[in-house]
Structure 1
Amino acid sequence: MQIRLWDNNLKVRLIGEALFNMLFWMYFPFIAVYFGAALGNHIAGILMMVPPIFSIIGNLLGGALADRLGRRPVMLLGASLQTVMFVLFAMSPSHWIDYAAFIGIGLGGTIYKPASSAMVADLVPAQDRRQVFATFTTANNIGAVLGPALGAIFFFQYRHELLWTCAFVLLLYFIAIYFMVHETLPQSAKRMEHSKSMSHVFKEQWKGYGIIFRDKVFLVYILAGIFSLVTIMQLDLYLAVYVINYVPSQALFTWNGDSFMLTSKEIFGWLLGLNGLLFVLFILPVTKWFRNWRERNVFILSSLLSGVGTFALGLNTNIWFLFFVTIIFTFGEIVRSPVTESFISRYAPEHARGQYMGANSSQFTIGRFLAPMTVFLSTWVPPMGIFSIILVFALISVVLYIQLFKIYVERPTVHSNP
């Protein structure tokens, strides 16, 4: 589905989200360092464990409200909350207010996300959703490649200017949503009976999530995703510890007797850069290559590539070998990314699509909460032991995905003109 054929809603969001995501990656990777320098690494480590809790609340709340109030109002709510929190961060006289603003920014983003994903599912035919989700992922990862390099300069030297810029861009995006984005809530959701009592609204929505998580197919899908994501998320967790502590400085290449040497930290930076570059260059082609693959096979391939690729990191410390296995586990992440949201958009009932999108995000939040355990265990367990644990997690996800598609039969995609 070519971008010129997209609904205007999607075009506005693609530009707005891509621009904001670049600004996001200019400050987010340095937040832990910032609070560590201000409050101490021990306190900062504890503080960084709190955001996933708010992420769960925001995702579930955002998904529930998206099905009740509509996609557009919830997106406006999320964008406005982020704008206000960036202004608070920029004007803050205290590190604790900085932290509260950081929590608020994350909460606004998680409220926004389920409505945004549900809007894509509302507007895009099922057979085109992988490609559209992949396009959004590409735009976001361009920011993930460029943002940290720019943020290393701007966050520490021009932090207030950067935060004001984020607030201004989000304000412009809020205005664009207000004037240019139309509501897409399906008629089936609009026809649902709703109580005017807010207490009853939230009681009803939490009851709805209870029903979702008692859905055996959905529960197995979430569990499989958590085990898979613990593996995928090691890139900026145990991989950083391993490369910096165990990979020696070495020459990237030698020319006429001269060598271009890289330290362990620089090697890790190159691996991160390669990961981001591969995402930008290949997510759309890979999505197209695997378009006719069954979702079952894509999920299994993703877990295998991620698990085997990450495990292989411990087999050799040569920089070119590390580049090679980085390509392997990055492709595991690439093939999975667009299929995750297309699967849940296909599986979710139309009237509860926002709730399912919100609940779907819980696998990322729980995965992000559990993934750092590898860093904790690395104090006692040698590298190959940690890499073996990571591989076991990947294999468990493979078993769960096999079980998932035994109890859930994929409905064939109905091809229709957009």
Structure 2
Amino acid sequence: MIHKWIDRYNELIWIRLVGELLTSTTGAMIAPFIVLFLHDKLDGNILLAMIIVAMQPLSEIILTLLGGTMTDRIGRKKIILVALFLQAMAMTGFIFAESVWLFAGMYLLNGMGRALYIPASRAQIADSVESSKRSEVFALINTVGAIGFSIGPIIGYFVFTTDPSLLFACEAIALILYFFVVLVKLPETAPEYKRDTHTPRSVITWKERIVTHRYVLGLMAFSLPISFFYAQKESTYPLYMKEMFSDYLLILTTIATVKAILDIVFQFVLTKWAERFSMKNITLITYSCYILAALGYGYSSSLWMLLCIQVILVIAESIGLNHFLRFVSELAPVTLRGTYFSIYGTHWDISRMIGPFTGGMILVDLGGLALFYLTATMLLIGCTAQYLLVRRIETKASIKTKVIST
């Protein structure tokens, strides 16, 4: 059974799994505490901390689109290597950063690396795995990442209370190790890129490009409420929690660890189980869970309520996020997978750019409850729009299949 499980995936997938475990563990040591670290370094200035957090996605919005095109043209492996190097440099810089400008610069550098890495790594999976297995491979990678996230916060808690700079040192070392594994072992998977020499580039207008890629642009736009929710969860909610709980650091560590354990146990199983549903039904289930989670964070007053929210989030992520990645990979032309993943992934960058500062202002002026009420309302609107779009895509695909079969 073990040999059968190992043979189910090729060497590339196993390399990615090892790299994900390494970097997710060290990344999870940092993630729950980065906003608190900046908050302390900046003498308690919430809005300035949120501005710095938002500067990373500012660079990612530009480079994500460029990175998708570059990975289609020059290959997945080269882009992944550049991305890992930039992120390692950023983590090293955080160790020595003392001024606001240095913090901002390291965030921009790290954002550049993330923007290049994500579309290249996802396109690489789409190149190497048949469509029927893509959702489970995305789920498997997320599950391995969850293993890292289950032990990372615990280690991070003790390191953070000793010397926060050690968190960044661990992440830098992990990224460098992963860099050399990719350099030595990872193959190139991108299909040969052929430039269209028949149609002059000047003839193709921006309007025509938007029409051509309208479906993936729509999927991206209507996913903005989900990423806005995560932007608040990662940036403003730790500060909201700080006001509500005296032992907020311990609670923050606990829910992050429990969430990771739930991911390990249930994400792969739930992803496989959800294969029986159409994408429009997956959309309804996913957004409904996120709406409940947003309202739950607004009213969170006990550890038990926060733990229930983590269960709801695992259901949403397992059923929704992995299958949306599979949906995008099927929607994309073979030679444009990097581009399509970069377009779709832009919603994370947009929300992480505007979300922390916007959420910080609402938190300061109106409080956390109003912030998460607004987030839940945005998710309801996004659910309606995304459902209609996905239904239209599925209907068109069904009609096309019937025409071909006849």
Q: What TM-score results when the alignment is normalised by the length of structure 1?
A: 0.81
1:21 equivalent in structure 2: 24
Instruction: Name the CA distance, whole Å, in 1 between partners of 2:240 and 2:164.
Output: 30
* Residues 357-394 of structure 1 deviation map (CA, whole Å, 9 limit, x = unaligned): 11111111122234443443244446654443222112
CA contact (8 A) 1:307 1:329 kept: no
Aligned counterparts, 1:369-388, within 5 A:
369-372=353-356, 373-381=358-366, 385-388=370-373
Instruction: Name the CA distance, whole Å, in 1 between partners of 2:39 and 2:97.
Output: 17
2:114 equivalent in structure 1: 109
1:343 equivalent in structure 2: 327
* Match for residue 259 of structure 2 among 263, 275, 282: 275
CA contact (8 A) 2:298 2:373 kept: no
One-letter code aligned to 2:186 = V
One-letter code aligned to 1:377 = I
The answer to whether residue 71 in structure 2 is matched with residue 72 in structure 1 is: no
* Match for residue 54 of structure 1 among 42, 50, 59: 59
1:258 equivalent in structure 2: none
Q: 1:293 to 1:151 in 2, by over 3 A?
A: same
Gaps of 5+ in 1: 195-202, 250-262
* Residues 283-304 of structure 1 deviation map (CA, whole Å, 9 limit, x = unaligned): 1111111122112211221101
Aligned counterparts, 1:255-404, within 5 A:
263=247, 266-312=250-296, 317=301, 319-372=303-356, 373-381=358-366, 385-404=370-389
Q: 1:265 to 1:163 in 2, by over 3 A?
A: closer
Cα drift, residue 63 of structure 1: 0.8
Aligned counterparts, 1:86-235, within 5 A:
86-90=91-95, 96-155=101-160, 157-158=162-163, 162-187=167-192, 190-193=193-196, 211-212=209-210, 215-235=213-233
Instruction: Name the CA distance, whole Å, in 1 between partners of 2:309 and 2:26.
Output: 30
Cα drift, residue 55 of structure 1: 1.5
* Residues 101-145 of structure 1 deviation map (CA, whole Å, 9 limit, x = unaligned): 343123112211111100000011111100000011112222223
One-letter code aligned to 1:407 = R
Instruction: Name the CA distance, whole Å, in 2 between partners of 1:59 and 1:6.
Output: 28
CA contact (8 A) 2:295 2:372 kept: yes
Cα drift, residue 404 of structure 1: 0.4
Cα drift, residue 180 of structure 1: 1.2
Q: 1:270 to 1:28 in 2, by over 3 A?
A: closer
The answer to whether residue 39 in structure 2 is matched with residue 36 in structure 1 is: yes
Cα drift, residue 170 of structure 1: 2.6
Cα drift, residue 264 of structure 1: 5.7
Q: Per the alignment, in what secondary structure is the counterpart of residue 10 of structure 1?
A: helix
Instruction: Name the CA distance, whole Å, in 1 between partners of 2:259 and 2:39.
Output: 26
CA contact (8 A) 2:150 2:258 kept: no
Cα drift, residue 25 of structure 1: 2.3
- When the two chains are superposed, the root-mean-square deviation of aligned CA atoms in Å is 3.3
Number of equivalent positions: 389
Q: State which drifts further: 136-145 or 265-274.
A: 265-274
CA contact (8 A) 1:302 1:335 kept: yes
CA contact (8 A) 1:298 1:336 kept: yes
CA contact (8 A) 2:54 2:352 kept: no
Q: Per the alignment, in what secondary structure is the counterpart of residue 394 of structure 2?
A: coil
CA contact (8 A) 2:13 2:125 kept: yes
Q: State which drifts further: 277-286 or 94-103.
A: 94-103
Q: Per the alignment, in what secondary structure is the counterpart of residue 190 of structure 2?
A: coil
Q: 1:36 to 1:185 in 2, by over 3 A?
A: same
CA contact (8 A) 1:217 1:407 kept: no
Q: 1:207 to 1:5 in 2, by over 3 A?
A: farther
Instruction: Name the CA distance, whole Å, in 2 between partners of 1:245 and 1:163.
Output: 27
Instruction: Name the CA distance, whole Å, in 1 between partners of 2:30 and 2:208.
Output: 36
CA contact (8 A) 1:22 1:140 kept: yes
Instruction: Name the CA distance, whole Å, in 1 between partners of 2:19 and 2:394.
Output: 36
One-letter code aligned to 1:17 = E
**Overall identity of the aligned pairs, in %:** 23
Instruction: Name the CA distance, whole Å, in 2 between partners of 1:158 and 1:351.
Output: 46
* Residues 6-28 of structure 1 deviation map (CA, whole Å, 9 limit, x = unaligned): 22122112101220121122234
Instruction: Name the CA distance, whole Å, in 2 between partners of 1:10 and 1:351.
Output: 20
Q: State which drifts further: 372-381 or 49-58.
A: 372-381
CA contact (8 A) 1:35 1:44 kept: yes
CA contact (8 A) 1:308 1:329 kept: no
Gaps of 5+ in 2: 402-406
Q: 1:63 to 1:176 in 2, by over 3 A?
A: same
